């Protein structure tokens, strides 16, 4: 009984510690259209499951891990990049990825979805489709509701400090789970890729 109680206390501590956001709501809540030489990806979360756990986002293009931000439940985060091929990564207990081929002047959307892990929620990244086959669609009531109910967030000195302090553990998860990602079939990878025409 004592061991079980200690485990429960430890889990509660981890959850409460992760629930404190290091981000702040953006003063500007209007999404700006990117210039013709830039593409934009809007990452968002809207789910009660795993709501106490933060999902951290990175640009893993070229094998790096450039910090994008920390995404809480009910928040969204806009990220501007050069057009072309990219790999994005979400990290919590594990790491997961989203591939993308982006066109300049367009905005793309990716949803961060929770799944259960060994000790806390894990997350996956899914493309939001602009037509065609796919679970998440831009032209849907759900998407419009998500956009209306989520708030743009932005980084703070505290979030950047966290990213710097956590770089080693993030790199370790990236190495471990990128190997798993590369074992996916072409069909599975296609389902987890933002296509050029998914932008609006």
Domains and CATH numbers, the chain: 21-198 (2.60.40.2890)
Q: Give the pLDDT of residue 15.
A: 34
Q: Give the pLDDT of residue 120.
A: 55
Torsion of CA 33, 155, 17, 46, to 10 degrees: -10
pTM equals 0.86
Q: Give the pLDDT of residue 20.
A: 52
User: What does the pLDDT average to over 169-182?
Assistant: 96
Q: At what angle do helices 157-165 and 167-181 cross, to 10 degrees?
A: 70
Mean predicted lDDT score pLDDT of the chain? 86
- Tens digits of per-residue pLDDT, 136-172? 999 999 999 999 999 999 999 999 999 999 999 999 9
List of residues 6+ apart from 36 with CB closer than 8 A: 104, 105
Looking at 7-105, which runs of residues are DSSP E strands?
24-25, 39-44, 55-59, 66-71, 75-81, 84-91, 95-102
3-state class percentages of the chain: helix first, strand second, coil last, to nearest 5: 30, 35, 35
Q: Give the pLDDT of residue 93.
A: 84
% of the chain beyond a pLDDT of 90: 73
Confidence of residue 184 (pLDDT cuts 50, 70, 90): very high
- Could you identify the residue written with the tokens 């990452």? 43
Confidence of residue 116 (pLDDT cuts 50, 70, 90): low
- Tens digits of per-residue pLDDT, 55-97? 999 999 999 999 999 999 899 999 999 999 999 999 988 999 9
């Amino acid at each position: 009984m004592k061991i079980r109680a200690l485990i429960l206390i430890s889990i509660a501590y981890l959850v409460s510690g992760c629930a404190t956001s290091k981000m702040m709501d953006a003063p500007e809540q209007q999404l700006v259209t990117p210039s013709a030489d830039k593409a934009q990806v809007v990452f968002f979360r809207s789910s009660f499951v795993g709501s106490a756990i933060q999902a951290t986002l990175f640009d893993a293009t070229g094998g790096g891990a450039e910090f994008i931000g920390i995404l809480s439940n009910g928040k969204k985060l806009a990220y501007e990049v050069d057009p072309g091929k990219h790999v994005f990564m979400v990290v919590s207990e594990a790491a997961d990825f989203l591939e993308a081929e982006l066109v300049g002047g367009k905005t793309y959307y990716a949803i961060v979805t929770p799944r259960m892990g060994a000790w806390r929620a894990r997350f996956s990244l899914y493309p939001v489709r602009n037509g065609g086959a796919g679970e998440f669609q831009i032209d849907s009531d759900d998407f419009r509701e998500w956009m209306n109910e989520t708030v743009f967030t932005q980084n703070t000195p505290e979030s950047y400090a966290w990213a710097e302090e956590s770089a080693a553990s993030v790199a370790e998860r990236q190495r471990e789970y990128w190997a798993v990602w590369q074992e996916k079939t072409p069909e599975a990878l296609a389902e987890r890729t933002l296509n050029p025409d998914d932008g609006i």
